[in-house]
Structure 1
Amino acid sequence: MCLWRPAPHCWTVRPDAHGRWRADWQVPEPDPVPAVTIGWLTWHIGFWWTTVLGHCFGSGAPEREETGWSGSAAAAADWLRGLREQWCSCLSGLTDADLDSTERTAALPWGGGQTLADVAGWVNVELTKNVAEIGLLRNLHGARG
């Protein structure tokens, strides 16, 4: 189901010549933006969460092209659970002053100048949106009869 394409014009994930799963992407995004697969959505969640963690709590993050997909729904779920655990661990010891600071977010490709609390709120909204999109794709896939 992760690779089911809901429309002909669709972004997905696919293995490259070396067997590493890569996500479709284009800059600038085409208009209209393509539909996406569940695999692409799970890659997308992992990509932005890895990026936020790397820039806000690490020494940087890999480029989008370097962030591969895990290859299966179970592996993607494990990857995302691990990112969630890392995110919760990083946030748990922070003070109000830490959350109000823009120091950790300065290197983000998006969100620079926002407080860490603002970025944490965005993570919640983005995760909720992406999970809702996964749910919709599951419903559409099931409704095909």
Structure 2
Amino acid sequence: MTWREMMLDQLEFYWNVHLWPRLEGLTDDEYWWEPVPGCWSLRRDAEGELKHEFFTVDPPVPPVTTIAWRIVHIGRDVLGTRARAFFGDRSLPEGALPTEDLAMYDARWWPEPLPATADEALAFLDKTYTMWCDGIRSLDDDALLRPLGPRGDHHADQSWGALVLHINREVMAHGAEVSLLRDLYRAQRDQEDPVVGAARRDDAAEVARLMDEGVEVPPLLLSEESGRRHWDVVRALVEHGAVDGGNPSALHYAAAAGELGTVRLLLDHGADREMTDAQFGMAPAVWAEHFGHADVAAYLRGMPVR
């Protein structure tokens, strides 16, 4: 494996395994959510055009940002402008990009409107990520040792390899911030949903009471609570008719924990022992085996449990 391949593999693994799955299902409400007053976000100017809030020099304590701000920073400032500055963009008409040696992080490399919706933002992010990766694939290991040149601005003497590693770090850092903001948004919304709030508190009796009253249960709640090892809550959900819409499923998590009683309960209520998880392609029995629970693996395979 070449150095270029290893550098790209690091970014692609993070993107495909850690970041992109965390972005799936992003809603407009999340995209624009401001967790505290005074957030940096995208704001419309007097002409109605979205602008990315920032100062040339960060204040001593930079403001909290919205997911919209972070995604645009990753997509435009980290990936997109650099990709266009160094590799161009064949999807644009001739003359659409600057011809002078502007710095690689100059926003004029990205003249299009900023994304106004979550769907637009994810498409924008996917486009700029692909542009950057395709550009890096065009380099060989010798090129990674060469200096960036004028478009590197005050980094002109630094190597391409240094830039690639820097971009990897930037994407990982800001991607983690987006993921954390989604976690905080979900936690806030969870507390507003009575059955989810009760489940998170591991209050099985309250979950059962609410379900008896006909409160709707989110489709992922059963797998989420199994993943949290709230076994009494899992039992209450299953016995009151909750359907598992998760992948990995509640059965996967129970198998991984060696929770034979819960595995039996889930199977008795129709759980699919053959379902494979989306990330590893493994059935619950393989999860049980991997985590050292031979008895659970045997039970899932229909074998006698010793």
Does the pair score TM above 0.5?
yes
Q: What letter matches 2:33 in structure 1?
A: W
1:2–1:38 CA contact under 8 A, matched in 2: yes
Give the structure with higher Rg (CA). Answer: 2
The corresponding residue for 1:32 is 61
Q: What letter matches 1:119 in structure 2?
A: L
TM-score, normalised to structure 2's length? 0.43
2:75–2:129 CA contact under 8 A, matched in 1: no
Deviation per CA, 1:23-82, whole angstroms, max 9, x where unpaired?
111122222110000000011112221221133224546843757521111111111111
Q: What letter matches 1:56 in structure 2?
A: F
Aligned positions, number: 144
Deviation per CA, 1:91-127, whole angstroms, max 9, x where unpaired?
112111111111x354224633221111111111111
Unaligned runs of 5+ in 2: 1-29, 89-98, 192-306
1:130 matches 2:186: no
The corresponding residue for 1:64 is 107
Distance 1:28 1:71 in 2: 26
Which of 95, 113, 118 is 2:140 aligned to? 95
TM-score, normalised to structure 1's length? 0.86
Distance 1:89 1:116 in 2: 15
Name which of structure 1's ranges 108-117 and 79-88 shifts more when overlaid on structure 2: 108-117
Identity within the alignment, %: 26
Q: Secondary structure at the match of 1:2?
A: helix
Higher helix share: 2
Structure 1 pair 109/45, CA: closer, same or farther in 2 (3 Å)? Answer: farther
Structure 1 pair 107/62, CA: closer, same or farther in 2 (3 Å)? Answer: closer
1:13–1:39 CA contact under 8 A, matched in 2: yes
The corresponding residue for 1:84 is 129
1:5 matches 2:34: yes
Structure 1 pair 137/110, CA: closer, same or farther in 2 (3 Å)? Answer: farther
2:80–2:131 CA contact under 8 A, matched in 1: no
Higher strand share: 1
1:101–1:115 CA contact under 8 A, matched in 2: yes
Structure 1 stretches of 4+ moved >6 Å? none
Q: Secondary structure at the match of 2:155?
A: coil
Structure 1 pair 10/129, CA: closer, same or farther in 2 (3 Å)? Answer: same
The corresponding residue for 1:54 is 84
Structure 1 pair 98/37, CA: closer, same or farther in 2 (3 Å)? Answer: same
The corresponding residue for 1:112 is 156
Q: What letter matches 1:51 in structure 2?
A: T
1:4–1:37 CA contact under 8 A, matched in 2: yes
The corresponding residue for 1:22 is 51
The corresponding residue for 2:71 is 42
